[in-house]
Amino acid sequence: MSPKRACRVEQDLLGPVDVPAGALYGAQTQRALDNFPVRGQHTIGYYHALIRGLVHTKHAAALANRETGQIDKSTAGAILRACRDLLARDHYEDDFPVHHLHGGGGTSANMNANEVLANLAEELLGGKRGEYRRVHPNDHANLNQSTNDVYPTACHIAVISQWPALRQALDTLVGRFDTKADELQSQQRIARTCLQDAVAVGFGDLLGGYSTFLRRSAERIARTVEDLHVVPLGGTIVGRPEDVPPAYFQAIIPALRQVTGDSAYRRNETLFDAAQNLDDLVHVSHELDALARGLVKICQDLRLMNSGPETGLGEIALPAVQPGSSIMPGKVNPVIPEHVIQLCFRVMGLHLGCQTALDHGELDLNIWESTAVFGILDSMELLESAAGTLGDKCIRDMRVNVERNDRNVQTIIPLLTELAERHGYSRVSDVCKKAGGNLKRLRHLLEETFPE
């Protein structure tokens, strides 16, 4: 039998709650732990960007409340010091243990942050954890705020802060493709449409198309992320500015700009719309989904061109990174593109959840930000890994089969296309009809009809 843990007793709306004696969180976080068992899944503390978004929002609120006289300087100062302490940390799992998909539209995440900040500030002012005599989670850390404006704001901050890592990974992958395109520009290959032979093009043309797609995708994602600088902070419950003092309402966005060091933050023009809809997050997810689908296409192309070694296309050789079979000696599979494809499949699934979160918001509030934001943060992490792995372990050391490609570009379709450009489509087509699908006879008829 395990020893009973040391606890303190806190009170909330529903009565007494046993909280671990040393915990920085309090009663409402403990209820969330009891109600939403984690069972090996992610907690909000796993998502450092989200925790930092919450702390930045609380930091801004404390500044605005101090500036407007809503909180005395001593209490505000302790909360501000607590915010700075949390932002300096690199580990949040212990203090923010709530399931990332908890019920209540982010209330448990918001209260987790309020309780941690209140307890840190309480200790700074000479009190003890769980007392809340000097600093209270609701009366001070959450003053003039609602989960309904704090949590969406924190979600926006989280996505904005995580985007640069993915952007850097995409830029690096673009560089890999560009380098390989320059290296292989003079090497021709047979293009294919509908999986049938088409015309001769350069490998640089194919790879340049990939890098252009990735650049365009990055720019589209960047635009949607930039739009997240529009936040509902000050809208409190459902978007009524009247629910906070006018001075605080005017001070909170400048305070957010100050604590984040980002002057682009601004308030939604219609706060009721902001409370009802999260299409701004869904737009980011949509672009991540489009990127994932494009990466799947690229990786499928690589698998096709690498197929073989004898009966496939065999036009490129991807780096051999591990044996490909437990029973067939010598078999090597294109495991890196296959890994990337599966990461992208996961992104596609997360986007479906994000879309569903948009259309399931009812009446005055959409409470499904957690599904959207954690789907986006996970997708960014997955795509960052996909881009880095594809570039480093596949594209950098990819080689082409010169003999196979040189032979392929001498096939019949490129020749027919060239002849049609010189002599007209109809005339060449008539020769094809006479051949009746016999390629040997077709070549003979072409030599007779177009002696050159």
The residues annotated with a catalytic role in the active site are 325
Task: Give residue 295's identity as a one-letter amino acid code.
Answer: L
- Count the residues in the chain: 452
Q: Who's near 395: CB < 8 A, 6+ residues apart?
A: 173, 176, 177, 180
Q: What are phi and psi of 102, to 5 degrees?
A: -70, 160
Q: Which two tokens stand for residue 169?
A: 């990974």
Contact (Cβ atoms closer than 8 angstroms) between residue 53 and residue 158: yes
Would you call the peptide bond into 309 cis, given omega within 30 degrees of 0 as the criterion?
A: yes
DSSP designation for 262: -
DSSP designation for 41: S
Q: For tokens 């002057």, name the residue.
A: 263
Contact (Cβ atoms closer than 8 angstroms) between residue 45 and residue 93: yes
CA 136 to chain CA centroid, nearest Å = 35
Contact (Cβ atoms closer than 8 angstroms) between residue 383 and residue 292: yes
Could you tell me the CA-to-CA distances from 428 to 186, 434, 441 in Å, in that order? 29, 10, 14
Q: For tokens 């850097």, name the residue.
A: 168
Query: What is the chain's percent helix, strand, coil content, to nearest 5?
Result: 60, 10, 30
Q: Which two tokens stand for residue 234?
A: 């000050």
Residue among 166, 157, 179 at smallest CA distance from 113: 157
Q: Which two tokens stand for residue 229?
A: 């600088």
Residue among 34, 5, 19 at smallest CA distance from 131: 19
| CA 355/CA 368 separation, integer angstroms | 10
Angle at 28 between CA 24 and CA 33, to 5 degrees: 85
Diameter of the chain measured on Cα atoms:
101
Contact (Cβ atoms closer than 8 angstroms) between residue 365 and residue 235: no
